[in-house]
Structure 1
Amino acid sequence: MKFALIFLFLIPVCLVSCRKKSKILVHGIVFSTGTGNGLPNIEVQFYTIKDKLFSDKCNYLVTKTDANGNFSFPDVEIIDNGKYTYGLDVPYYSNSDYTMFGIGPIDIDIDDLSNNQILSVTATFKDLTILLPENVIVQYPDSFTATFENRIYHNYLPDNIWQLVRTPKSFHSTVIYPNNLSTNFPPYSIGWWHITFDKIKNGVQSVFQDSIYLGMGETKEYVLPW
């Protein structure tokens, strides 16, 4: 009698346990905060943690984004119970040309795993050198101010996606600059940088606007239109 009761008890337990396992497609895109476009060849990790108290029980699947920034993990086995945690991670990466500030690890609710996952990361260009034209000397009372602005993705205001950020704010002349002014910008976010050049030359003020695109790991020069 006891054996029969145990057998009857195990049958529903087994059926419930079997129903908790499934295979799904985990997919999404990794895009740049500086451009809004997908980034190619970026490593993405999908992790499964059986017990968060024990890091050695964490398993990883690894892939890379395609030319448009898309990634996918097909046939991922999911076990729907409280012991398992799932999520995505884009690791930090840096070399001599650029830095990519990753995102994660991000735990994802099981009900949301099959949704398109959108991951935003910030990558940098290598160097931007600002020059005055050859043989130009800016001398008082002549002067100029150049402001560089980059539009970046704002993560916390979804209704106000694009935000104008002045980084670096500006640089200007008040006395004499040598013939070869060279001002190097450190590695800021990739994307379109909008330039406002405000100059006073021979007592006349004029404003010139331009833009320059800086890609990941890219080095460029920009000559101010004096």
Structure 2
Amino acid sequence: MRLFLILVLALVSCTKFGKNVTVKGRVMNPVTGQGIEGAEVKLLRVKGGYDSNYKTIKSVVTDASGNFELDKYTWASPVARCETGDFYRLGWTKDGGQTFIDNFELEVKKGKVTNADFYAIPYGNLQININNTSCFDSNDELKIYRTHSIPGFYDDVPNPAIYLGCVNQTGNMNKAPMGWYKYSGTVTKNGIVTPKKDSIYLNEGETKVWNINY
């Protein structure tokens, strides 16, 4: 009788707390709209309440179109995480809602299907040089507003960028996410203001030097 009660309680506990977790979607490059093959999507549970103690309970690798589907019966309340390797990790969209920038981890609920798309962008290499090629005096000014194919890419840096005087600035060759880099603004010399704009497209794995001369 005692053994029977233990088995019944165990069955009730499993029914109450253990449920399927399903996560499906796509890992893609939002610049091109193409899927990213070979990215790993994991279901993780927390051990002890610290991020460093996450334990993988199941993982899959995306197919040639970037699609994935994870299904796992679990008692835990897990999170889903995407590992893309050396990509600019942009964020994710859950169930067609808001895109969360710079976060590749989301909570998923037991007993429900979560539709999630992860966005990542491959890198190229870009060097930007700023040169006042016909300097008038120290009051010369270049004021430019910068944008990228990624919305909000320049949110964490001064924008517009302002360069004063006889600028001759050689930038470093830096790893940069692929896509369009654009600027528009004005050049002021001897009190005369003229508009200025330009753009450059950086492909995956490409190395480019962008000279902004004014």
**Counterpart position of 1:78:** 73
Alpha-carbon offset, residue 207 of structure 1: 0.5
- SS of residue in 2 equivalent to 1:115: strand
Alpha-carbon offset, residue 183 of structure 1: 3.2
TM-score normalised by L of structure 1? 0.59
Alpha-carbon offset, residue 198 of structure 1: 2.3
Task: In structure 2, give the amino acid aligned to 1:165.
Answer: D
The reply to whether residue 206 of structure 1 matches residue 194 of structure 2 is yes
For these two proteins, the number of residue pairs brought into alignment is 197
Larger radius of gyration: 1
**Counterpart position of 1:159:** none
Task: In structure 1, give the amino acid aligned to 2:27.
Answer: V
**Counterpart position of 1:158:** none
Change (3 A) 1:137 1:194: closer
Alpha-carbon offset, residue 117 of structure 1: 1.0
Change (3 A) 1:139 1:21: closer
- SS of residue in 2 equivalent to 1:199: strand
Task: In structure 2, give the amino acid aligned to 1:44.
Answer: E
Task: In structure 2, give the amino acid aligned to 1:117.
Answer: A
Contact 2:128 2:210 in 1 (8 A): yes
Change (3 A) 1:44 1:168: farther
Contact 2:25 2:68 in 1 (8 A): yes
Contact 1:29 1:38 in 2 (8 A): no
User: CA separation in 1, counterparts of 2:54 and 2:116?
Assistant: 26
Alpha-carbon offset, residue 12 of structure 1: 7.8
Task: In structure 1, give the amino acid aligned to 2:78.
Answer: Y
**Counterpart position of 1:106:** 106
Q: Runs of 5+ in structure 2 lacking a partner?
A: 91-101
The reply to whether residue 28 of structure 1 matches residue 25 of structure 2 is yes
Alignment map for 1:5-84 (pairs within 5 Å) = 7=4, 10=7, 14=11, 17=14, 25-31=22-28, 35=31, 37=33, 40-41=36-37, 43-49=39-45, 52-53=47-48, 55=53, 58-64=56-62, 66-67=64-65, 70-73=66-69, 76-79=71-74, 81=75, 84=76
Task: In structure 1, give the amino acid aligned to 2:182.
Answer: H
Contact 1:148 1:168 in 2 (8 A): no
Q: Runs of 5+ in structure 1 lacking a partner?
A: 154-161
**Counterpart position of 1:88:** 80
User: CA separation in 1, counterparts of 2:48 and 2:89?
Assistant: 29
Contact 1:47 1:58 in 2 (8 A): yes
The reply to whether residue 183 of structure 1 matches residue 176 of structure 2 is no
**Counterpart position of 2:210:** 222
Which of the numbers 142, 145, 158 marks the counterpart of 1:145?
142
